[in-house]
Copies of this chain bind each other. A is one copy, B any other.
Amino acid sequence: MLTVIKIGGNIIDDADKLHAFINDFSKIDGSKILVHGGGKLATEMGLKLSIQPNYVDGRRITDKETLELVTMVYGGLINKNIVAGLQALGCNAIGFTGADANIIKAVKRPIKDIDYGFVGDVVGSGIEPKILTTLLELGLVPVIAPLTHDGNGSMLNTNADTIAQEIAKAMAAIMNVQLIYCFEKNGVLLNAEDDNSVIRQINTSDFDQLKDDSIISGGMIPKIKNACDAVRSGVERVVIGNAIYLSDILKGNSGTVIQ
């Protein structure tokens, strides 16, 4: 079983939580891949460098300076911090981006209403599983930063959720895969105000009904839609849960399982 895990800013920005997560992650049996997002570190570093966040219609734009910033912070600082942490525990991590070994093919997002700048959209079937498989066979643990390239010499800022999902789908053609999305809640909640109201299981066939009943709403809609999509593409199960309970998630005792 290959375990693909995605972590975001709520873990990356908190040194203690990140340390605990790295410890739990290092203990996972079998092959594993970690995809990490960005977090506040890039914004803070950007402020120090006088790179003003640039928003259009509430969406952050990746201009040239911001691209350099995220390439440094995601591809360098965060990625290597995690790699060094895993190596210290004897977990043979190898950190890279989607540009490296051309592992994730992407295109610069086409300009429609908004020009998002240097943002990459992963090309359908854009993952090359052969190299990832070889790295796993060597006992290595890929740690992937949310960056791709445009084929013309430029890096591209790319959504970590999408990268995790596309890697899980591509690897599912070769081996059994579970995909774990870690976020700040304990799972999909029946009642958004009650952190203990986790829905333990969602079947892909339940999605429309849950949406109609407004049990799934807002930002959870694309998250769960993507999870259902991954399951339909052969991923054994997707779990949405809280990184601080990773060992419970792995035992099936925490988070929402989508299958």
Q: A residues touching B (Cβ–Cβ < 8 Å)? A: 45, 48-50, 68, 71-77, 79-81, 83-85, 87-88, 92-97, 99-102, 130-131, 134, 138, 140, 147, 149-155
User: By the criterion CB–CB under 8 Å, are B76 and A151 in contact?
Assistant: no
**A71-B77, A72-B76, A101-B94 given; A84·B50 CB < 8 A:** no
Q: Name the B residues within 8 Å of A74 (CB-CB).
A: 76
Q: Name the B residues within 8 Å of A152 (CB-CB).
A: 88
A12 to B87, CA, bound (A): 29
Tell me the dominant secondary structure on chain A's binding face: helix
A138 to B63, CA, bound (A): 34
User: By the criterion CB–CB under 8 Å, are B84 and A79 in contact?
Assistant: no
User: By the criterion CB–CB under 8 Å, are B68 and A83 in contact?
Assistant: no
A92 to B101, CA, bound (A): 5
A147 to B84, CA, bound (A): 11
User: By the criterion CB–CB under 8 Å, are B100 and A94 in contact?
Assistant: yes
Q: Name the B residues within 8 Å of A75 (CB-CB).
A: 75-77, 79-80
Determine the residue in chain B with the shortest Cβ distance to A85: B153
A152 to B84, CA, bound (A): 8
User: By the criterion CB–CB under 8 Å, are B48 and A153 in contact?
Assistant: no
Determine the residue in chain B with the shortest Cβ distance to A70: B76
Partner of A153, one of B88, B92, B151, B153: B88
- The minimal Cβ–Cβ distance linking A216 to chain B, given in whole angstroms, is 36
Q: Name the B residues within 8 Å of A48 (CB-CB).
A: 48-50
Determine the residue in chain B with the shortest Cβ distance to A140: B101
- The minimal Cβ–Cβ distance linking A127 to chain B, given in whole angstroms, is 15
Determine the residue in chain B with the shortest Cβ distance to A95: B100
Determine the residue in chain B with the shortest Cβ distance to A149: B84
A84 to B75, CA, bound (A): 13
Looking at A75, A88, A95, A101, the one whose CB has the most chain B CB atoms below 10 A away is A101
A72 to B74, CA, bound (A): 8
Partner of A87, one of B76, B88, B149: B149
**A72-B76, A95-B96 given; A84·B153 CB < 8 A:** yes
17 A-B pairs within 8 Å (CB atoms) are namely: A68-B77, A71-B81, A72-B73, A76-B76, A80-B97, A81-B155, A84-B99, A84-B153, A87-B102, A88-B152, A92-B101, A94-B100, A95-B97, A95-B100, A96-B96, A96-B100, A130-B138
Partner of A84, one of B77, B87, B134, B155: B155
Q: Name the B residues within 8 Å of A84 (CB-CB).
A: 99, 149-150, 153-155
